[in-house]
C-alpha cells in the first residue's frame, strides 16, 4: 500500500477517535498507577507457589471451625469467609501459613470507582460501553497503520529499530516513541476490544456444568482432609477459590476453582467427582483482563501507564504534524494550460511547499501566470516557458509520496515547446543520500528533448532560507526577474524563540553610528560566536539576522544604526533591563575552525562582532590574526583596540591589523592583505583558514585580492579553498 493510504487511514482513525482516546488514556494512566499501588499491598501473601492447599487448609481448619470459602485474588490476597472460634463472622485477609488475620478487604476508593466507570462507559451506560469498545477497536487499527508507517519510513521491517534522524521535534518523537509504545498499545487495544465483545455477548459464553454421579461405594472410607490427594497436589498459587460444603450431607461438595479448571470434590473421600476444564474463551477473557489492567504484574502495569501517556503524546504530536502539513495549501489563480511558469513540488511534510509557494506568490504579484502543483500532477503544459521543480528527499534518497510518479509521467507527457528547467533540492546532510531524489529528477529532466536547463541544481540543507536565496539570485539572473533574495521571506514560523534580557548597550557617537548590544537569554541556550541572532522588530513575521559573538556567556552584537532600518532602530531603542523575543540561528559553516594550524579573521565595520567572541573563546591559543577595516578611529574602535591588547597578552590573538579608510593614510583592509600577501598564501598552503565577515562589497574586494595573490603564487585562485572550507564568509 502507498504511504499516503496508510497515512490517511492513520489520520482518519485518529481524528475520529481522539476525544475518546484522550479520555481513555488519561483514565487508563490513573488506573494503571492504581494497579501498581495495589500490587504493592502489604496484605499480599508471599511465595504461595510453595504452599499446598493441604498445608493451608489444615491450619485454617484448626483456627476457624466454619469456613464458607477461601479465595485468592490477582494481587495474591488470601480472603477467608467463615466463623472464628468465638462464633464471630470473619471476612478478612489471612496469612495462609499461620491462619492469622492480616487485614480487612477494602473497597476501591470513590475516586477510583468513578475513574473506572468513566474509563469503561463514560457514565453513558451501554452506549458509553459501546463507544469505548469501538474506540478500542479503532486504536487497534491505528496501531497497525502506525506500525506499517514506521516500516515504510524505515524502508523495511529489518530496519525498524535503525537510527532516526532528528528532523523535527513532533515528528521525531512520534516515530521514536511509536516504535516502543505501539506494541503495548496494540495489546491494550486488542484486549479492550475482546473484553467489549464479551461484554456485549458477541462471543460464545462459557458455561460450566458439573455432572456429579454419586458412586455407591461398597465401603466408603472416610478420610481426613489432610489426606486428600487433590489438595496436596494443588498449590495455593493455582487456586482462585475453594467453596466449602454447607453441611455433612453427602450431596454437599467442595468446589475447587483453579485458574484453568473447576473440580467438585467429595467431602468425605477427597475423590474428584467432576473435573471441567474452562473453555478457551474464558481463559482468553482472563488473559485480556490481566493484560488490559496490569493487575497481575507491577512491571506490566507500569508499561501500561507509560503507553497510555504515550497515546496522549501521539495525539499532540500527530496533530501538530498534520496542522503543519495542511498549513500550506496550494491555491492557483491560473489554469495549468495557460500558465507560463509551472512550479512543481515534491514535499512530504509541507516545508518545501512553503518555499515554492513563496516563489509562486511573488510571480503572481508580478503579474506572471504561475501554476503551482504537486509533482505527481505533472502533465503537458502548452504555454509553459519555465518549469521549476522543488523537491525534498525522503526514505533513503527516495521521492516524497506526492512526487513518486514523476519519472513515469515524464515518459508519457512530452512538452510540445522547449521549456527552461530548474531543480531545487531540499534535504539534510544528516542523511547519507543528500538530496538524492532532486538529483534523480535533475538527471531525468535534463534528458527530455524539450528541456533547456537554465540554472544548475541547487541544494538546500535543513530548510536553510539563506541557501535557498542563492538559488533565487541565480534564477533571477537568468530570468531577469527580481524576486526577493532576503532570507526572511522564506522563513517559516520561528521556532525556539527565547526571552532575552538587555544587559548593556553602548551609545552611538556623532562620528560613528555603530553600537554594541549585550543580551542574556532567560534560560540555557546553546550558541557560539558566528551564530546568528534572529529578531522580529515589526511584528509582521519578517526576520532580521545579526552575527553574534559569545562574550562571557552572553550574546553580543555590533549593529550599525541605519536611519531607515527598523531592525537597528528597534535594537537601539532598547535599554538595559528590557526584554525581547529572539532566537538563535545556528550557523555551522561560520564557527571557529577546530582544529586549524592558523586562522585569519577579516572584517569591516560591524562584521568584527563574531570575531571578538572567537578570540575570547580561543582558549586553545590557536594562532589567530585579526584584520579589520573601519572608517575612522572612534571610541568604539578604541574599545576594540583595548580588547585586542588584552587578548594578545593572553596569547588568544597573535596580531591585530587595523585599516582606517577616512583617516590620513586612507587604508582599506584589502591593502593590509596585499601587504601581508606572503602570510596569506602560506596560511592557505598549510591548511589555515580565512574567515570573512562584513559587507558584501568588502567580501568581493577581499576575495578578488586573495584570488590575485593566490594566482600569482600557485597559478590558481581561491575557488578550491572556498569549496574545501578554508575560505569562509558571512557577509550581508
Ligand atoms: C524519514 C525522512 C527521511 C529523509 N531522507 C532524506 C534523504 O535520504 N536525503 C536527504 O537529503 N534528506 C532526507 N530527509 C530530510 C528532508 O528531505 C528534509 O528535512 C526536507 O527539508 C523535508 O522537506 P518536506 O517537509 O517538504 O518533506 C529525510 C527526512 C525524513 C523525515
pLDDT tens figures, 119-166: 998 888 888 899 899 999 999 999 999 999 888 878 788 888 888 776
Predicted TM-score of the model (pTM): 0.57
Task: Find all residues with CB under 8 Å of 249, minimum gap 6, and list them.
Answer: none
N- to C-terminal Cα distance for the chain?
48
Task: Find all residues with CB under 8 Å of 289, minimum gap 6, and list them.
Answer: 191, 195, 295
For ligand 1, whether the C-beta of 351 sits within 6 Å is yes
- Nearest one of 59, 56, 79 to 69, comparing CA atoms: 79
Ligand 1 mean position, distance from CA 307 (Å)? 28
**Which residues on neighbouring strands pair with residue 265, listed in sequence order?**
254, 272
**pLDDT value of position 509:** 79
Ligand 1 mean position, distance from CA 163 (Å)? 14
For ligand 1, whether the C-beta of 431 sits within 6 Å is yes
For ligand 1, whether the C-beta of 349 sits within 6 Å is yes
Q: Specify whether the CB–CB gap between 500 and 582 falls below 8 A.
A: yes
For ligand 1, whether the C-beta of 340 sits within 6 Å is no
Ligand 1 mean position, distance from CA 433 (Å)? 10
**pLDDT value of position 637:** 92
Task: Provide φ and ψ at 60, rounded to 5°.
Answer: -70, -35
**pLDDT value of position 19:** 85
- pLDDT digit string, tens, across residues 355-406: 999 999 899 988 999 999 999 999 999 999 999 999 999 877 889 889 999 9
**What residue ranges define each of the domains in the chain, with the CATH number in brackets?**
3-40+110-204+289-322 (no CATH), 329-490 (3.40.50.360), 498-589 (2.40.30.10), 592-731 (3.40.50.80)
For ligand 1, whether the C-beta of 393 sits within 6 Å is yes
**pLDDT value of position 542:** 59
Please classify residue 224 by burial: count the beta carbons closer than 10 Å to its beta carbon, then call 0-12 exposed, 13-18 middle and 19+ buried: exposed
**pLDDT value of position 511:** 77
Ligand 1 mean position, distance from CA 621 (Å)? 39
Provide the 8-state DSSP code for 489. Answer: G
Residue 228: CB atoms within 10 A of its CB come to 23
Report the residue among 317, 393, 459 best suited for mutation to probe ligand 1: largest number of ligand atoms under 8 A from its CB: 393
Please classify residue 292 by burial: count the beta carbons closer than 10 Å to its beta carbon, then call 0-12 exposed, 13-18 middle and 19+ buried: buried
Provide the 8-state DSSP code for 663. Answer: S
Ligand 1 mean position, distance from CA 187 (Å)? 32
d(CA 33, CA 307): 12
Residues of the chain with pLDDT under 70: 1-4, 166-167, 214-222, 325-329, 492-495, 538-543
**Which residues on neighbouring strands pair with residue 579, listed in sequence order?**
501
Q: Specify whether the CB–CB gap between 334 and 306 falls below 8 A.
A: no
Provide the 8-state DSSP code for 246. Answer: S
Question: For residue 293, what are the CA distances in angstroms to 29, 124, 286, 618?
Answer: 10, 21, 11, 59
- The set of cell numbers assigned to 39 is 500490587
**pLDDT value of position 351:** 86
What average pLDDT does the chain have? Answer: 89
Q: Specify whether the CB–CB gap between 123 and 117 falls below 8 A.
A: yes
Nearest protein Cα to ligand 1, atom 17:
427
**pLDDT value of position 541:** 53
**Which residues on neighbouring strands pair with residue 117, listed in sequence order?**
none
- The set of cell numbers assigned to 647 is 587578548
Ligand 1 mean position, distance from CA 394 (Å)? 5
Q: Specify whether the CB–CB gap between 237 and 46 falls below 8 A.
A: no
Q: Specify whether the CB–CB gap between 15 and 51 falls below 8 A.
A: no
**pLDDT value of position 588:** 80
d(CA 128, CA 131): 5
ipTM of the shown complex: 0.99
- Nearest one of 281, 30, 26, 13 to 136, comparing CA atoms: 13
- DSSP, residue by residue, 302-324: HHHHHHHHHHHHHHHHHHHHHHH
For ligand 1, whether the C-beta of 350 sits within 6 Å is yes
d(CA 440, CA 153): 20
Ligand 1 mean position, distance from CA 425 (Å)? 10
For ligand 1, whether the C-beta of 465 sits within 6 Å is no
Task: Find all residues with CB under 8 Å of 294, minimum gap 6, and list them.
Answer: 32, 35, 36, 300, 301, 302, 303, 304, 305
Query: Which is the closest atom of ligand 1 to the Cα of 353?
Result: 26
Question: For residue 428, what are the CA distances in angstroms to 431, 464, 608?
Answer: 6, 10, 30
Radius of gyration of the chain (CA): 39
Amino acid at each position: 500500500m502507498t504511504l499516503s493510504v496508510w497515512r490517511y487511514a492513520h489520520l482518519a482513525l485518529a481524528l475520529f477517535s481522539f476525544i475518546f482516546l484522550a479520555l481513555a488514556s488519561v483514565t487508563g494512566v490513573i488506573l494503571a498507577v492504581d494497579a501498581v499501588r495495589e500490587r504493592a499491598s502489604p496484605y499480599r501473601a508471599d511465595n504461595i507457589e510453595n504452599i499446598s492447599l493441604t498445608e493451608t487448609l489444615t491450619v485454617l481448619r484448626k483456627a476457624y471451625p466454619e469456613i464458607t470459602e477461601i479465595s485468592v485474588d490477582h494481587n495474591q490476597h488470601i480472603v477467608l469467609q467463615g466463623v472464628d472460634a468465638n462464633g464471630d463472622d470473619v471476612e478478612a485477609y489471612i496469612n495462609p501459613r499461620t491462619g492469622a488475620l492480616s487485614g480487612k478487604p477494602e473497597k476501591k476508593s470513590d475516586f477510583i470507582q468513578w475513574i473506572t466507570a468513566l474509563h469503561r462507559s463514560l457514565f453513558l451506560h451501554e452506549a458509553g460501553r459501546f463507544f469505548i469498545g469501538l474506540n478500542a477497536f479503532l486504536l487497534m487499527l491505528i496501531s497497525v497503520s502506525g506500525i506499517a508507517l514506521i516500516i515504510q519510513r524505515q524502508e523495511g521491517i529489518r530496519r525498524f529499530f535503525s537510527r532516526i534522524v532528528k528532523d523535527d521535534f513532533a515528528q521525531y518523537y512520534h516515530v521514536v516513541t511509536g516504535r516502543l509504545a505501539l506494541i503495548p498499545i496494540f495489546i491494550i487495544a486488542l484486549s479492550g476490544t475482546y473484553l467489549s465483545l464479551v461484554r456485549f455477548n458477541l462471543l460464545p459464553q462459557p458455561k460450566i456444568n458439573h455432572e456429579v454421579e454419586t458412586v455407591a461405594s461398597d465401603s466408603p472410607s472416610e478420610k481426613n482432609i489432610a489426606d486428600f490427594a487433590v489438595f496436596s497436589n494443588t498449590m495455593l498459587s493455582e487456586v482462585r477459590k475453594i467453596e466449602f460444603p454447607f453441611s455433612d450431607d453427602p450431596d454437599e461438595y467442595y468446589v475447587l476453582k483453579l485458574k484453568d479448571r473447576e473440580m467438585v470434590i467429595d467431602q468425605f473421600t477427597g475423590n474428584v467427582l467432576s473435573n471441567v476444564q474452562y473453555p478457551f474463551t474464558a481463559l482468553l477473557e482472563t488473559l485480556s483482563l490481566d493484560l488490559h489492567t496490569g493487575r497481575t504484574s507491577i512491571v506490566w502495569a507500569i508499561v501500561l501507564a507509560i503507553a497510555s501517556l504515550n497515546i496522549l503524546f501521539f495525539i499532540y504530536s500527530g496533530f501538530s504534524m498534520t496542522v503543519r502539513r495542511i498549513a500550506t495549501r496550494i491555491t492557483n489563480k491560473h489554469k495549468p494550460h495557460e500558465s507560463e511558469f509551472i512550479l512543481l513540488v515534491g514535499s512530504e511534510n509541507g516545508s518545501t511547499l512553503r518555499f515554492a509557494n513563496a516563489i509562486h506568490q511573488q510571480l503572481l504579484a508580478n503579474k506572471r501566470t504561475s501554476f503551482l502543483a504537486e509533482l505527481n500532477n505533472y502533465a503537458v503544459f502548452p504555454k509553459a516557458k519555465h518549469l521549476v521543480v522543488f523537491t525534498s528527499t525522503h526514505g533513503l534518497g527516495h521521492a516524497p509520496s506526492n512526487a513518486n510518479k514523476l519519472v513515469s509521467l515524464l515518459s508519457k507527457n512530452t512538452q510540445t515547446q522547449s521549456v527552461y528547467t530548474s531543480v531545487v533540492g531540499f534535504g539534510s546532510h544528516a542523511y547519507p543520500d543528500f538530496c538524492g531524489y532532486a538529483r534523480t529528477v535533475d538527471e531525468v529532466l535534463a534528458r527530455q528533448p524539450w528541456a533547456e536547463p537554465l540554472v544548475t541544481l541547487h541544494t538546500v540543507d535543513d530548510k536553510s532560507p539563506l541557501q535557498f536565496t542563492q538559488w533565487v539570485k541565480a534564477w533571477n539572473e537568468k530570468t531577469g526577474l527580481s524576486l526577493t533574495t532576503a532570507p526572511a521571506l522564506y522563513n517559516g514560523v520561528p521556532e525556539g524563540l527565547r526571552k532575552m534580557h538587555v544587559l548593556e548597550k553602548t551609545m552611538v557617537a556623532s562620528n560613528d553610528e555603530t553600537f554594541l548590544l549585550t543580551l542574556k537569554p532567560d534560560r540555557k541556550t546553546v550558541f557560539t560566536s558566528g551564530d546568528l541572532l534572529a529578531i522580529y522588530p515589526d511584528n509582521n513575521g519578517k526576520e532580521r539576522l545579526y552575527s553574534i559573538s559569545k562574550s562571557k556567556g552572553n550574546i553580543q552584537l555590533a549593529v550599525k544604526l541605519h536611519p531607515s532600518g527598523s531592525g537597528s532602530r528597534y535594537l537601539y531603542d532598547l535599554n538595559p533591563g528590557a526584554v525581547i523575543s529572539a532566537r538563535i540561528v545556528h550557523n555551522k559553516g561560520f564557527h571557529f575552525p577546530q582544529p586549524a594550524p592558523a586562522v585569519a579573521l577579516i572584517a569591516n565595520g560591524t562584521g568584527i562582532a563574531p570575531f571578538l567572541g572567537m578570540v575570547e573563546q580561543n582558549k586553545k591559543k590557536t594562532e589567530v590574526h585579526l584584520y579589520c577595516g573601519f572608517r575612522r578611529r572612534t571610541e568604539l574602535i578604541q574599545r576594540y583596540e583595548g580588547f585586542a591588547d588584552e587578548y594578545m597578552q593572553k596569547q588568544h590573538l597573535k596580531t591585530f591589523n587595523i585599516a582606517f579608510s577616512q583617516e590620513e593614510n586612507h587604508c582599506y583592509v584589502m591593502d593590509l592583505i596585499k601587504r601581508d600577501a606572503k602570510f596569506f598564501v602560506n596560511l592557505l598552503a598549510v591548511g589555515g583558514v580565512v574567515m570573512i565577515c562584513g559587507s558584501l562589497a568588502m567580501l568581493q574586494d577581499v576575495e578578488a585580492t586573495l584570488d590575485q595573490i593566490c594566482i600569482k603564487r600557485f597559478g590558481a585562485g581561491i575557488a578550491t579553498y572556498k569549496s574545501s572550507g578554508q575560505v569562509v564568509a558571512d557577509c550581508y
